[in-house]
Chain A
Amino acid sequence: MHLKNRIETKMLRLRFHGRGGQGVKVASRVLGTAAFLEGYYAQDFPLYGAERRGAPIAAFTRISEEPIMERGVITGPDIVIVMDETLLHDPQAMPISGLKEGGIVLINTPHSPMEASAKYKITAQVITLDITKISLDMLGSTILSTLAGAVASRIAGLREDSLRAAVEKELSEIITDRGLLEKNINASLYCFNAIIPVEIKTAGVIQKGSSVITMPFETAEISSPAIIATGNTPLRLTGNWRVFRPVWNYDDCTKCMNCVARCPDGCILVNEDGLPYTDYNNCKGCLICVEECPTKTLGMVREVHA
């Protein structure tokens, strides 16, 4: 058996990027299991910093025709799956860093490949698919796990039956709702077939070889694990985490201030007319305000990055 997009070292390395809660880890497992069921050697694992909904998270999958003699994070992927396009502007996430020459980026976005490449200044080959929309339409949620796993499987050159079996296996360990599982299988197969397979033209891993240095001594004034600079959390604008944005229609607002009190991040402020409004720079789109509003003042719309 041959990996359709085989490279010199007979291994494909994929990296998934998303935010906590979107199903990044399960996506890497759907791919890993699909490859394993199809007879390849597979290795997958997640890397979390802060284990928190909304925080950037990456997951890795290696697929090989031979036993895998690598460990740890994939710094030179052949394929990157960007499950949340807001990460492309995030200097801490840098989803495309290290992508091999000739590698492929799949971006979850309503944009076309040309629009996405221009917007995010990507020179590598880009494929796009709005899997959030597919998830909302077919699953009624924004959990992208099986769909991202599906597109990755397609790009990696795996078979549809391997994907189906993998989705079945991985989801049955997490959910008991058979109906939801079936919907996931349908949605993932839909995504699988929505991708046109491409050739991955990455060369074998190039040993960039950074040189070994002798670490110089520095006094504890520098080398103690302490931070002197003032905290810079206000600079980190978390507004780009949103999938839906709360919107206001003040006709029915009674100024009850439920929304102000319930917002977990203190992102609802009050203007001089005594009316509440959202700080969209930091609003994470949890929609608690929408749920708690007793009138019809608060609604929500899909946040599409146009």
Chain B
Amino acid sequence: MEKVMLTGNVAAAWGVRLAEVDFIPVFPVTPQTEIVETLAKWISDGVMDCRFVTMDSEHSMITAAGTASATGARVFTATSSQGLLYGFEMLYTVAGWRVPLVMVNVSRALSSPITLEPDHNDVLAARDSGFLQIHCETCQEVLDSILMAYRLVEDERVLLPIIVNMDGFYLSFTREPVEVPDMERVRRFLPLYQPRHAFFKASQPMAQGVVVLGGSVYSYFKYQMHLASQKALEVYKEVCVEFEKVFGRNYDTIEGFMLDDAEYVLVMTNSFSTIGKAAVKRAREKGIKVGLLRLKLLRPFPEDDIKSVLKGRKAVAVIDQNISIGKGGILHSEIASCLYNLKHRPLLLSFIGGLGGKNISPGEFEFIFNKMITEVDTEEVERCQLLYTEEEWNEMVGLKRIAGKG
């Protein structure tokens, strides 16, 4: 199949079109709006058979999406940052309904200050909600992940909603070569959604999303969600094998780059993994045995895969493109807890970079590699480092002056 130049947004729209979705409730927000605009045009042109409704807010949108999914329809929606947080309570509610909604989040850093560029605080805020999470590095992966997402969450062993994440601007508005599979092949991979637990039939009324009283009753439902999410690890691996058989592209919960003999490992996610890989290549040319681990499936957290890749390494540096104010990098904490009981666990370093889409320069990567090497020697790990360069600081000095400050 031929490749075409597509933005991440249009690649996402293609994934949705190929999945033959039934219902799309929308609300616009930069940088995802192009996804739903593209879908709207296709539906209006008659090349996509689907119901499309503009809602009054993301809170209503997520509610509509979850509810429609609870009637047995295959549903899609998309949002970003402020929108995701606006509908936040519904994320937990919809997940609790056990409906296989697929939602794309186009990551964008959160206000305040207001910005448009990406980081991962928005999508990671939803990590406790019950939504599964797949994070993409390329536009191809966005399209593929949407197809895989429906197959994964509609499996009766899972039946939880899922977020497919792509970075705003660096993927959403960036064109890269993408192979768009034909509908026939997709139909071989993705069967119809035929739920037995949540549907709407006049002859068989049911009550969904009921009220419970009593902690043990509530706990039952929550534990089952957790168990289903963990089952999803096994189902995801099956889906990956099927996907490769049909489309020829191989995915897993994680991706390793130059890891074979790596003594030092960078951990990253999403589109900046590309520049991380370039930095690893440059370091290898200088003789430093470094590799990169990209996390793709974040919920459920692929604990065993991460443990088996990171055990025995000298040092691991987690670059979080997010920050938990007052604590540090979110993924760093998750990996730390995952590695804690390992006998041969590596030193674990924490770096914050890329907030608001801030570039991570070659110099900053070199800084990280040098830190790993030094701290293996001294056996002392410093606290979380906030990456910032002298040039960037000088720019801020100028801006503060113009703003009348300091």
B275 close to A228 (CB less than 8 A) = no
Residue numbers in B under 8 Å from A212 (CB-CB): 363-364, 367, 385, 387-390
In the complex, which of the residues B274, B366, B389, B390 contacts A70, with contact meaning CB atoms closer than 8 Å? B274
In the assembled complex, how far is the CB of residue B405 from the closest CB belonging to chain A, in whole angstroms?
Answer: 5
Given A69-B275, A211-B390, A212-B388, A225-B112 contact (CB < 8 Å)? yes
Please name the residue on chain A nearest to B271 by beta carbon. Answer: A71
Q: Could you tell me the distance between the alpha carbons of A209 and B360 in the complex, rounded to whole angstroms?
A: 11
Q: Which residues of A217-238 have CB atoms within 8 Å of chain B's CB atoms? A: 218, 221-222, 225-230
B175 close to A29 (CB less than 8 A) = yes
Q: Could you tell me the distance between the alpha carbons of A208 and B272 in the complex, rounded to whole angstroms?
A: 20
In the assembled complex, how far is the CB of residue B306 from the closest CB belonging to chain A, in whole angstroms?
Answer: 24
B170 at the interface (CB under 8 A from A): yes
Q: Could you tell me the distance between the alpha carbons of A63 and B386 in the complex, rounded to whole angstroms?
A: 33
Given A207-B363, A227-B403, A213-B393 contact (CB < 8 Å)? yes
A46 at the interface (CB under 8 A from B): yes
A271 at the interface (CB under 8 A from B): no
Given A42-B177, A72-B170, A228-B404, A213-B390 contact (CB < 8 Å)? yes
Given A36-B177, A227-B404, A211-B274 contact (CB < 8 Å)? no
Residue numbers in B under 8 Å from A196 (CB-CB): none
Given A69-B274, A210-B389, A229-B364 contact (CB < 8 Å)? no
In the complex, which of the residues A29, A75, A214, A227 contacts B5, with contact meaning CB atoms closer than 8 Å? A29
Interface size band for A: 35 or more
Q: Could you tell me the distance between the alpha carbons of A45 and B170 in the complex, rounded to whole angstroms?
A: 8
Q: Which residues of A226-259 have CB atoms within 8 Å of chain B's CB atoms? A: 226-230
Interface size band for B: 35 or more
B174 at the interface (CB under 8 A from A): yes
Number of A-B residue pairs at CB separation under 8 A: 97
B296 at the interface (CB under 8 A from A): no
Given A209-B361, A225-B112, A44-B174 contact (CB < 8 Å)? yes
Please name the residue on chain B nearest to A46 by beta carbon. Answer: B173
In the complex, which of the residues B278, B391, B406 contacts A218, with contact meaning CB atoms closer than 8 Å? B406
A184 at the interface (CB under 8 A from B): no
B405 close to A222 (CB less than 8 A) = yes
Given A45-B169, A222-B400, A72-B357 contact (CB < 8 Å)? yes
B113 at the interface (CB under 8 A from A): yes
B87 at the interface (CB under 8 A from A): no
B176 at the interface (CB under 8 A from A): yes
Most chain A CB atoms below 10 A, which of B275, B361, B389, B405? B405
Given A71-B271, A211-B389, A215-B393, A43-B404 contact (CB < 8 Å)? no
In the assembled complex, how far is the CB of residue B176 from the closest CB belonging to chain A, in whole angstroms?
Answer: 6
A146 at the interface (CB under 8 A from B): no
B175 close to A69 (CB less than 8 A) = no
B275 close to A70 (CB less than 8 A) = yes
In the assembled complex, how far is the CB of residue A55 from the closest CB belonging to chain B, in whole angstroms?
Answer: 14
Given A29-B175, A45-B169, A70-B278 contact (CB < 8 Å)? yes
B281 at the interface (CB under 8 A from A): yes
B403 close to A228 (CB less than 8 A) = yes
Q: Which residues of A186-213 have CB atoms within 8 Å of chain B's CB atoms? A: 207-213
Residue numbers in A under 8 Å from B7 (CB-CB): 45
Q: A42-B177, A47-B169, A207-B363 are in contact. List 5 more A-B contacts (CB 8 A).
A: A42-B176, A44-B174, A210-B390, A212-B363, A221-B405
9 contacts between A and B (CB under 8 A): A36-B5, A42-B5, A68-B176, A71-B274, A210-B363, A210-B390, A212-B390, A229-B404, A230-B404
Q: Which 6 A-B pairs have the closest CB atoms?
A: A229-B404, A228-B404, A209-B363, A225-B113, A45-B174, A69-B278
| A-binding residues in B (CB < 8 A) | 5, 7, 112-113, 169-170, 173-177, 271-272, 274-275, 277-278, 281, 357, 359, 361-364, 366-367, 385-393, 400, 402-406
